[in-house]
A and B are shown apart, each in its own frame.
Chain A
């Protein structure tokens, strides 16, 4: 495992002004790059920095899910904060794409992240750099509606081709949950022994 600080400086040096911000998420380096440098980031990562392994590409929607029909005391859905906050290295808006690449020889990895415009969700495709990006970008396209420019064929991967909407966006409701609420946190009554919020010792 390479030292995180040296890794950060190596990556920021190699990427130059493409880097907007960098941070650490529990031992993993997160680097946020400019959207127009997304593909060149991949090229630098693979060819210069030696990150030869593509772990995944995924999207994220930072908008909190709209609360629909939540009644008092209903714990069926874990209540999330209602204001929009962004993760490590920040974000310009609601959508982000993040990708994790690793090196099989240096045994190090980095998560790259870039912002996606909400009105016109377009990202550069990584397929020409990492061929494995093909399916990840197709999945991301159907789940979030991000258009990967330069992808050979953005077809549905998981969902039927007639499917409408982008299921992983936070405003896409999980209908099953709204029709029939989940039992939620049922195990809230005190334990027979009498210990409650304090915690329990499993090995007692």
Chain B
């Protein structure tokens, strides 16, 4: 019997789901921003980072920053295309919200279990580039424009290795539903041994690496942060944004980082699953397990971000088209052959 099997009217359910999604994105941005951007980076750079706000290791810092941003004057450049300018941050944030719709946090904790979940997640994640382009174009600023065009070029180039990296997982799982992929990992077996299920990071390690690299480019994080590139383009497409609109970009950036970390955790680390735990227990433990796995992936992504210099735009394109995509294609072919053979 399932203890959680309470009948909830669908309207209330929808409202709950909406609230959860709306809460998850800023919360994820907050947690990742605090843990990695403020504290981990500081400690890597032999400094403490914020220590005072909130009393304990400056945990309140980002919330305080958010409040400060809300109080700031909203400056719009004279030459800006006002409507597009105002809309752009929203587009970026919405694309982040939409990714979370399909990410499962437990066997039943999912907003929508789409049959084409993987496809959907990757499709909506690239919506953000439209927001970035809008921001860059509408700002009436040359730095912003260059940044936006770089972002567009970069996202087109990295969408392909990202997709191809996931294709291997999809072939192995035999489904595109994220819930199905998790189950396949929980109940699967590696060549007959099912002790820890079959987390695809073991059998799809190349895919995992490709996914992380491509995600880094999708998130415009170092070494692929040319669209923002503080030292060249000042802040790229964000250069003219102030106050809460800038806050939106910030939430979008770290919210998307959360989403991609969660996607990677779901696709390669088994998502919410713990081998052998099913039913209600999985529903209760699932979110926690997902968050732990997500943080592990995010740690990797931010570690790279704080360590590496930035590539140049043409070097980035060369890396995508000449290295990542061929490797991803070979990976897909080998996965398919093994799948058919077994």
Chains A and B share a contact (CB less than 8 Å):
no
Please give the residue numbers on chain B whose beta carbons come within 8 Å of chain A beta carbons, in ascending order.
none
